[in-house]
C-alpha cells in the first residue's frame, strides 16, 4: 500500500464523485444520480479502510504523509497526514457519508443530484480538514466545508431555513476570522511556515500564547459548539434536512473539538494549562445548563441538538483534564456521538418523513404502529443516555473517571448527566413512543422499510460494537495521545 496517496484519495474520490453526480443534471436522471452517489460514497469509504488496517500503532508520528509544494511564494504546502487522533475521523466521516446518501434515497426528490453532490463534496472537504498538516490548507478546507452545509440547509431545509443558514454562517464566520488572524500571526512568528507541526514545536511567550489560545477558543467554541456560542446549532438542526443534521452532528461538530487537539493544546500549551479552568467551566455549563434546557424542549430535533451540545461538553472537558484517560475518553465520545446522534437524527427523520412533524406533542404510542422502529430508537435513546454496552457509555465513563482524578467536584458536576441525560432522552422516548396510539397520524404510520432497517443496522453496529469492545478504537489513539500529553506538559516559554 505504500506509495498510494490514500489521504488524497479519501479527499478527492468523494469530491470527484460529487462532480460526476452533479453532471447528471436534472431530476430526470435522479435514479442514476442516486446510484452514482452511493457508488461514490462507498468508494470513498473503501479507500479509507487501509488507513486503519495499515496504521502503525507504535508511532506518534504522522502517517500516510503526502507533501507537495502548493504556493511556493508563501511556503504553503499540500501537506497531508494522519495520526491516532485524526485517522478515525476520516473513516467515520466516510462511513457517515454512506448513511447520508442512503438516508436521502427516497426522501429527497427534488434536485437529487445537487443534494447528493453536496454531501459528497462536503465529505471530501471534511476529510481534508482532518488530514491537513498545513495551516492554510486546513483553513481552506475548514471554510470550504461550510459552503455545502450552508447550501444544504438553505435549499433543502425547513420553513425558516434561510434564517438558520444565516445564523449558522455568521456564527462560524465570526470564529473563522479570528482563526485566520491567528494563523497569519503564526506564519509570521515562525519565520514563514504554514506547517502545523512546525508551529507545534515553536517556542512562544506567554502573552502571544494567551492571545492565540483565545482566538482558537472562539473559533473552535463556535464549531463545537460550546456555551454561550451554541445557539446556532438548534436552529440549524431544526431546519436542516435529515442528512444535513446527521453530518452536522456526526462530523461538523467534531471539527472544533479536533481543532483543540491540533492547534490549541500543542501550539499554546502554557496558555492551555492557564486557561484550562475556563474551558472546563464552560464545558460544565454545557453539560448541566444545556441538559436542563434539553429537558424543556418540545421539538425532538431541538432536544437532540441540545443533547449534542451537552455531549460535546464531555469532549471539551475530557481534553482539559490533561490525562490520557480524559483525552481518549473525549475522542471516544466524539466518535460515539457520531454514531449515536447520527442515529437519533435519523430516527427523528424517519418519523418526520411519515407524519411531517417533529413536535413531541404530535406523537404518542408510535410503538404500536412501528415496533421495529421503536426497538432501534430505544437502543439509540439508551446510547444517548450513556447506557453501558453502548458506545455512549464508554466516553462518558472515561471522562468522568478522568475528571474524578482531576477534581472531585468537576466530576460531580459532569456526572449529573447520568440523571439529566437519561431524563430528557427517556422522557421524550416515553412521550413519543410509549402509550396508546395518540392520534390518527400515529395510527397511520408504517414501520421502517428495508432501506431504513439497513441504515439503522449500520448505526447499531457502530454503537454496540464500540460499546462492547472499544479497545480497537482506543489502541490506535495511544501513541499519539501520549505524545500529545508529553508535548503539552513541556513549557514553550523560553
Q: Which residues bind other proteins (CB under 8 A)?
A: 167, 228, 231, 289, 292-297, 323-325, 328-329, 365, 367-368, 371, 378, 382, 387-389, 393-394, 397-398, 400-401, 403-405, 408-409, 411-412, 415-416, 418-420, 422-423, 426-427, 430, 433-436, 469-471, 474-475, 478, 482
User: With left for phi above 0 and alpha for psi between -120 and 50, is residue 367 left, alpha or beta?
Assistant: alpha
How far apart are CB 159 and other proteins at their closest, in Å?
Answer: 18
The owner of cell 430526470 is 28
Q: How far is CA 408 from the centre of its chain?
A: 28
Query: Please, what is the minimum distance in Å from the beta carbon of residue 324 to other proteins?
Result: 3
| Helices of type H across 249-370 | 253-259, 265-267, 269-295, 300-319, 324-355, 366-369
Of 79 and 161, which CB lies nearer to other proteins in the complex structure?
Answer: 161
Which C-beta is closer to other proteins: that of 190 or that of 482?
482
Question: Helix/strand/coil (H, E, C) string of 65-97?
Answer: EEEEEEEHHHCEEEEEEECCCCHHHHHHHHHHH
* Nearest-approach distance from CB 146 to other proteins, in angstroms: 18
Least distance from other proteins to the Cβ atom of residue 405, Å: 4
In this complex, which beta carbon is closest to other proteins, that of residue 70 or of residue 292? 292
Q: What is the CA radius of gyration of the chain?
A: 21
Contact 56, 89 (CB under 8 A): no
Tell me how far, at minimum, the Cβ of 477 lies from other proteins, in Å: 8
75 or 297, CB closer to other proteins? 297
Q: How far is the CB of 486 from other proteins (least distance, A)?
A: 12
Output the nine-digit C-alpha cell for 213.
489560545
Q: Quick one: 42 or 285, whose CB is closer to other proteins?
A: 285
Q: Which is nearer to other proteins, 23 or 296 (CB)?
A: 296
Cα 121 versus chain centre, distance? 16
Shortest distance, CB of residue 388 to other proteins, whole angstroms? 4
B/e letters for 289-299, b = 16+ CB within 10 Å, e = fewer, are bbbebbbebeb
- Comparing CB distances to other proteins, the nearer of 67 and 295 is 295
CB of 16 to other proteins, least distance (A): 38
Instruction: Please provide the DSSP assignment of 116-129 as one string.
Output: HHHHHHHHHHHHHH
Backbone angles phi, psi at 55, to 5 degrees: -75, 135
Residues present in the chain in total: 494
Give SS3 for 266: helix
Nearest distance from residue 347's CB to other proteins, in Å? 17
Q: Which is nearer to other proteins, 189 or 482 (CB)?
A: 482
Would you say the C-alpha torsion 88, 452, 35, 105 has a positive or negative sign? negative
Residue closer to other proteins by CB (options 46, 418) is: 418
For β-strands 63-71 and 76-82, DSSP reports them as: antiparallel
Minimum CB separation from other proteins for residue 316, in Å?
A: 18
For other proteins, give the closer residue by CB, 269 or 467.
Answer: 467
Cα 279 to chain centroid, rounded: 19
Residue with cell 468523494: 14
Q: 463 near 379, Cβ under 8 Å?
A: yes
Q: Return d(Cα 68, Cα 425) in angstroms, integer.
A: 48
Amino acid at each position: 500500500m505504500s506509495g498510494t496517496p490514500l489521504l488524497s484519495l479519501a479527499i478527492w474520490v468523494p469530491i470527484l464523485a460529487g462532480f460526476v453526480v452533479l453532471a447528471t443534471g436534472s431530476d430526470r436522471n435522479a435514479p442514476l444520480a442516486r446510484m452514482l452517489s452511493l457508488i461514490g460514497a462507498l468508494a470513498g469509504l473503501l479507500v479509507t479502510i487501509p488507513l486503519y488496517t495499515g496504521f502503525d500503532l507504535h508511532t506518534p508520528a504522522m502517517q500516510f504523509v503526502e507533501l507537495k509544494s502548493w504556493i511556493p511564494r508563501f511556503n504553503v504546502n499540500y501537506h497531508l497526514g494522519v495520526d491516532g487522533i485524526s485517522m478515525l475521523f476520516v473513516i467515520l466521516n466516510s462511513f457517515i457519508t454512506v448513511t447520508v446518501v442512503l438516508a436521502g434515497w427516497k426522501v429527497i426528490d427534488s434536485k437529487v443530484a445537487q443534494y447528493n453532490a453536496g454531501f459528497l463534496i462536503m465529505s471530501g472537504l471534511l476529510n481534508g480538514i482532518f488530514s491537513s498538516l498545513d495551516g492554510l490548507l486546513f483553513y481552506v478546507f475548514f471554510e470550504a466545508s461550510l459552503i455545502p452545509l450552508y447550501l444544504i440547509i438553505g435549499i433543502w431545509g425547513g420553513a425558516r431555513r434561510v434564517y438558520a443558514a444565516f445564523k449558522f454562517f455568521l456564527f462560524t464566520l465570526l470564529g473563522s476570522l479570528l482563526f485566520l488572524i491567528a494563523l497569519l500571526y503564526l506564519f509570521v512568528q515562525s519565520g514563514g511556515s504554514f506547517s502545523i507541526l512546525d508551529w507545534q514545536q515553536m517556542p512562544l511567550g506567554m502573552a502571544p500564547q494567551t492571545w492565540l489560545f483565545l482566538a482558537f477558543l472562539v473559533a473552535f467554541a463556535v464549531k463545537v459548539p460550546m456555551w454561550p456560542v451554541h445557539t446556532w446549532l438548534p436552529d440549524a438542526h431544526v431546519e436542516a434536512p435529515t442528512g444535513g443534521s446527521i453530518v452536522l452532528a456526526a462530523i461538523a461538530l467534531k471539527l472544533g473539538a479536533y481543532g483543540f487537539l491540533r492547534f490549541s493544546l500543542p501550539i499554546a500549551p502554557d496558555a492551555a494549562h492557564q486557561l484550562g479552568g475556563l474551558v472546563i467551566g464552560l464545558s460544565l455549563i454545557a453539560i448541566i445548563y444545556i441538559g436542563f434546557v434539553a429537558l424543556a424542549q418540545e421539538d425532538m430535533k431541538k432536544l437532540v441538538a441540545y443533547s449534542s451540545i451537552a455531549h460535546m461538553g464531555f469532549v471539551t472537558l475530557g481534553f482539559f483534564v490533561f490525562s490520557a484517560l480524559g483525552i481518549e475518553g473525549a475522542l471516544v465520545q466524539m466518535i460515539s456521538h457520531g454514531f449515536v446522534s447520527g442515529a437519533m437524527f435519523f430516527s427523528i427523520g424517519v418519523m418526520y418523513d411519515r407524519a411531517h412533524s417533529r413536535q413531541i406533542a404530535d406523537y404518542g404510542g408510535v410503538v404500536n404502529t412501528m415496533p421495529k422502529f421503536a426497538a432501534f430508537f430505544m437502543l439509540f435513546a439508551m446510547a444517548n443516555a450513556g447506557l453501558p454496552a453502548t458506545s455512549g457509555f464508554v466516553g462518558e465513563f472515561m471522562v468522568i473517571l478522568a475528571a474524578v482524578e482531576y477534581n472531585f467536584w468537576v466530576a460531580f458536576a459532569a456526572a449529573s448527566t447520568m440523571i439529566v441525560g437519561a431524563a430528557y432522552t427517556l422522557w421524550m422516548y416515553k412521550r413519543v413512543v410509549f402509550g396508546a396510539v395518540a392520534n390518527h397520524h400515529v395510527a397511520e404510520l408504517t414501520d421502517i422499510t428495508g432501506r431504513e432497517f439497513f441504515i439503522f443496522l449500520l448505526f447499531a453496529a457502530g454503537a454496540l460494537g464500540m460499546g462492547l469492545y472499544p479497545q480497537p478504537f482506543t489502541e490506535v489513539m495511544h501513541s499519539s495521545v501520549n505524545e500529545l500529553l508529553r508535548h503539552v506538559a513541556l513549557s514553550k516559554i523560553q
